[in-house]
């Protein structure tokens, strides 16, 4: 009888041991939290054009919407006015003027260059654009570009910053728009 009791106790202990080895862990492993790359508030886009033949010949154009996208409308919307038949080296500066101090968003775009791309679309203008800066994968960024102007005339240049985290493929298709401005262009 003691032998039977000992077998029964050992069997029960073995089942309990197996059962406890199969039960769910009391301390669940922390699940990774999704990375949220918040879109920045961009109130201002400034374009600075420097004549390749005369560095003292500098032109600027600014778009500013003081409260960012939505709400009030823009209070500055310059035409891009450039001389014909020239090459212009161009830089874009993006600002968040709702922040104090003012936040230079173009620095953040440069830091996150693998997730951003500027797209330039001319309409009815002789200006053509070549992007000069690239991300770590060789895809265009577009904070720096070269504009070549042809004959005098009017048109427009759409400049759009695309936010493409994890999906940048060199095109303007994927992602969301951070800012999109269609500047009037005057070539004279």
pLDDT at 31 over 80: no
Q: What's the pTM?
A: 0.79
| Digit-coded pLDDT (tens) for 72-103 | 899 999 999 999 999 999 999 999 999 999 99
pLDDT value of position 40: 74
CB atoms within 10 A of CB 12: 10
**119 vs 137: CA distance, rounded Å:** 17
Domain extents in the chain: 44-187
Asked whether the predicted pLDDT for residue 169 surpasses 90, the reply is yes
Of the chain, the percentage scoring pLDDT greater than 90 comes to 75
For residue 39, the model assigns a pLDDT of 66
Q: pLDDT tier at 71 (50, 70, 90 boundaries)?
A: confident
Task: Classify burial at 4, counting beta carbons within 10 Å of its beta carbon; exposed 0-12, middle 13-18, buried 19 or more.
Answer: exposed
The pLDDT of residue 134 is 98
Q: What is the pLDDT of residues 36-60, one digit of tens each?
A: 445 679 999 999 999 999 999 999 9
pLDDT at 7: 47
In terms of phi and psi (left: phi > 0; alpha: psi -120 to 50; beta: otherwise), the region of 166 is left
Second-level CATH architecture of 44-187: Sandwich (2.60)
What's the residue count for the chain? 188
Q: Strand, helix or coil at 21?
A: helix
């Amino acid at each position: 009888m003691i032998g039977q009791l000992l077998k029964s106790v050992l069997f029960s202990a073995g089942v309990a041991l197996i059962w406890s080895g199969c039960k769910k862990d009391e301390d669940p492993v922390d699940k990774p939290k999704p990375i949220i790359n918040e879109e920045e508030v961009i109130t201002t886009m400034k374009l600075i054009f420097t004549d390749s033949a005369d560095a003292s010949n500098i032109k600027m154009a600014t778009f500013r919407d003081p409260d960012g996208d939505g709400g009030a409308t823009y209070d500055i919307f310059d035409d891009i006015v450039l001389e014909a038949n020239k090459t212009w080296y161009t830089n874009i500066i993006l600002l968040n003027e709702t922040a104090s101090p003012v936040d230079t968003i173009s620095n953040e775009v440069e830091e996150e260059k693998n997730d951003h791309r500027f797209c330039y679309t001319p309409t009815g203008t002789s200006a053509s654009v070549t992007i000069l800066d690239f991300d770590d994968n060789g895809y265009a960024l577009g904070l720096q570009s070269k504009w070549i102007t042809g004959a005098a005339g009017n048109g427009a240049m759409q400049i759009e910053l695309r936010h493409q985290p994890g999906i940048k493929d060199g095109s303007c298709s994927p992602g969301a728009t951070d800012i999109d401005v269609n500047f009037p262009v005057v070539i004279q």
